[in-house]
């Protein structure tokens, strides 16, 4: 249905002053507006003019629209806030100052079409004087996509909030200035602050003066370098309690720009107490273990010198061997404790010097007993924890110690793999091989009835995996064991002043 023209009864209406207002003037008015616009009679809410954008938005031609009332263009006549369209129009008609461009505006949201696909519009309704008479001008815009996006964001936020409250850790988000913007209940519980006190508070201010700088430094690195950083600090609760705390903070980005940070916090009280108790326990046990076994080996050695019975001497020598094996087990446990407590990070390690250091630290009786061939090219650098030489020492020591041959042979070789991302380091021997129970430490197949007898392979495996590598056991060409360490190639060049780790520097005197 097209626009009607030339019929005074249709195109004109009598104004309050008795003058006819041409529909053509109203049509010209709305046509000059580029966004969807209607002009309505303020008393009857009859639509008197509509522009083309309004017709496209509402799905009716302009002729049809001018036969409708404003409430009729929707499936219901109630706004999203619950007011009727008539009430909104009445409020706009009563507003003062409607004769100028600065006239107040009544804004509303209206679901014109329900279901899927629906249609929601943002409306702006105000009174205006056109050709001497008062009219209601209705501006419309399609809000469907915005509302759908807001609904999706609200659903995602509810999901994130639910997950945040479920996770047994403190979760938070900081603004670009390092102040708290969002957090879960765990952070509030850990700190003792209510939500009003946390809002806008600097994250670093939640920690004591001695360790708060670590948090500030972590945030600075996140914002400056876009890195994920972990730090340990002491949370200063509202009641004044100092709580050991671990923070991991990462960047929130907008393109290439860091616009905030998200983080996870963990109360380390129980973990610290447990580690402290375990450290005391292991130190006491290891000290007594070592001292008592030294007494056993000392007295047994004197007994061996004092007896002439070959059978008894053999039995006493077995006691000494067992005691020495237990002493080595205690020494390995000390190294394991040190590794686990320090949690070292991978760094570039020159492989050839690491192998040399490993061979130099072998017990003299082991070095003198075996022939060790080394084929490790210079210039190979791997990413590993600094304890790598100790892992190599452990493998060579085991290869020699458990070989009954008169002249044990061990070969250490290394090569860069074709992928250029990995380096293979192989320790092979001609001994009896590693028993299945010992291999099971790598597969998780050992049982209480059939388990490994020592910590050696565990220690080697932990060192290698701490650097992102892996360990594989097979049979060597000589029939013995072949242990391959797959190590990540170093991504960064080796520093000129890089030193191998000195185990003695980390000793605690235990």
SS (H, E, C) 2-36: CCCCCCHHHHEEECCCCCEEEHHHHHHHHHCCCCC
Using CA atoms, how far residue 98 sits from 42, 136, 137, 180, 382, in Å, is: 12, 10, 11, 45, 78
pLDDT, position 180: 94
C-alpha to C-alpha distance for 500 and 386, rounded to whole angstroms: 7
The CATH architecture to which 167-267 belongs is: 2-Layer Sandwich (3.30)
Give buried/exposed letters for 348-364 (b at 16+ CB in 10 A, else e): bbbbebbbbbbbeebee
Residue among 201, 253, 209, 256 at smallest CA distance from 233: 209
pLDDT at 336: 72
Predicted local distance difference test score (pLDDT) of residue 102 = 54
CA distances in angstroms from 151 to 108, 142, 143, listed in the order given: 18, 16, 12
* CA dist., res. 254 & res. 244, Å (int): 33
pLDDT of residue 94: 67
Token readout for 137 is 């001008």
- Tracing tokens 């996140």 back to the chain, one arrives at 222
Give the model's pLDDT for residue 509.
38
**What is the C-alpha to C-alpha distance for residues 329 and 332, in angstroms, rounded to an integer?**
5
CATH of segment(s) 347-506: 3.30.565.10
Nearest residue to 220 (alpha-carbon basis) of 197, 249, 183, 244? 249
- CATH of segment(s) 8-143: 3.30.450.20
Q: State the Cα–Cα distance between residues 298 and 260, nearest whole angstrom.
A: 65
Distance (Å, whole) CA 54 – CA 52: 5
| Of 144, 86, 152, 149, nearest in space to 112 by CA | 144
Question: Which pLDDT tens digits describe the chain residue by residue (510 residues)?
Answer: 334 333 433 344 444 433 444 578 899 999 999 999 999 999 999 999 999 999 999 999 998 999 899 999 998 899 999 999 999 998 887 655 444 445 678 999 999 988 777 899 999 999 998 888 889 999 999 998 898 888 888 888 787 777 777 778 899 999 989 999 999 988 999 999 998 899 999 999 999 999 999 999 999 999 999 889 999 999 999 999 999 999 999 999 988 899 999 999 998 887 666 766 666 766 766 677 777 778 888 888 888 888 888 888 888 888 887 877 777 777 777 777 676 666 778 889 999 999 999 999 898 888 888 889 999 999 899 999 888 998 999 899 888 988 888 889 999 999 988 777 899 999 999 888 777 766 665 655 554 444 445 677 888 888 898 888 999 888 888 778 899 999 999 887 666 555 555 544 444 433
Please state at what angle helix 388-401 crosses helix 456-466, rounded to 10 degrees: 150
| Spatial distance between the Cα atoms of 247 and 263, rounded to a whole number of angstroms | 7
- Per the confidence metrics, is the pTM higher than 0.75? no
């Amino acid at each position: 249905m097209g626009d009607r023209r030339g019929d005074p009864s249709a195109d004109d209406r009598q104004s309050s002053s008795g003058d006819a207002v041409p529909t053509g003037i109203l049509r010209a008015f709305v046509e000059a507006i580029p966004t969807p616009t209607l002009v309505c009679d303020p008393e009857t809410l009859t639509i008197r003019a509509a522009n083309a954008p309004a017709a496209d938005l509402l799905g009716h031609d302009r002729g049809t629209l001018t036969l409708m009332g404003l409430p009729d263009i929707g499936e219901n006549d109630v706004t999203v806030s619950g007011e009727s369209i008539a009430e909104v129009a009445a409020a706009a008609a009563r507003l003062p100052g409607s004769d100028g461009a600065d006239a107040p505006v009544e804004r509303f949201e209206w679901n014109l079409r329900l279901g899927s696909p629906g249609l929601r519009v943002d409306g702006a309704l105000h009174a205006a004087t056109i050709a001497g008479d008062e009219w209601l001008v209705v501006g419309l815009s399609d809000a469907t996509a915005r509302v759908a996006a807001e609904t999706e964001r609200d659903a995602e936020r509810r999901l994130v909030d639910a997950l945040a409250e479920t996770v047994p850790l403190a979760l938070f988000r900081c603004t670009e200035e390092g102040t708290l913007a969002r957090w879960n209940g765990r952070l509030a519980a850990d700190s003792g602050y209510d939500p009003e006190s946390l809002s806008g508070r600097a994250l670093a201010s939640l920690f004591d003066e001695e360790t708060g700088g670590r948090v500030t430094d972590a945030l600075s690195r996140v914002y400056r370098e876009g890195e994920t950083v972990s730090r340990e600090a002491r949370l200063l609760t509202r009641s004044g309690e100092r709580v050991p705390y671990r923070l991991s903070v990462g960047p929130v980005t907008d393109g290439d720009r860091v616009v905030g940070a998200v983080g996870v916090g963990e109360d380390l009280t129980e973990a610290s107490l447990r580690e402290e108790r375990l450290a005391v326990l292991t130190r006491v046990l290891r000290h007594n273990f070592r001292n008592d076994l030294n007494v056993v080996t000392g007295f047994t050695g004197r007994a061996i010198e004092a007896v002439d019975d070959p059978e008894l001497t053999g039995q006493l020598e077995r006691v000494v061997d067992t005691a020495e094996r237990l002493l080595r087990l205690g020494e390995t446990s000390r190294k394991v404790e040190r590794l686990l407590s320090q949690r070292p990070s991978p760094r570039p390690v020159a492989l050839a010097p690491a192998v040399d250091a490993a061979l130099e630290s072998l017990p003299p009786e082991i070095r003198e007993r075996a022939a060790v061939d080394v084929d490790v090219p210079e210039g190979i650098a791997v990413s590993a924890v600094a304890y790598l030489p100790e892992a190599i020492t452990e493998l060579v020591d085991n290869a020699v110690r458990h070989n009954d041959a008169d002249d044990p042979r061990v070969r250490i070789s290394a090569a860069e793999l074709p992928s250029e991302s990995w380096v293979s380091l192989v320790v092979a021997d001609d001994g009896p091989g590693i028993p299945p129970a010992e291999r099971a430490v790598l597969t998780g197949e050992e049982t209480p009835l059939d388990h490994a007898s020592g910590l050696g392979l565990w220690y080697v495996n932990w060192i290698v995996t701490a650097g992102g590598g892996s360990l594989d056991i097979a049979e060597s060409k000589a029939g013995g064991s072949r242990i391959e360490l797959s190590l990540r190639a170093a991504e960064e060049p080796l520093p000129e002043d890089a030193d191998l780790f000195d185990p003695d520097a980390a000793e605690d005197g235990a």
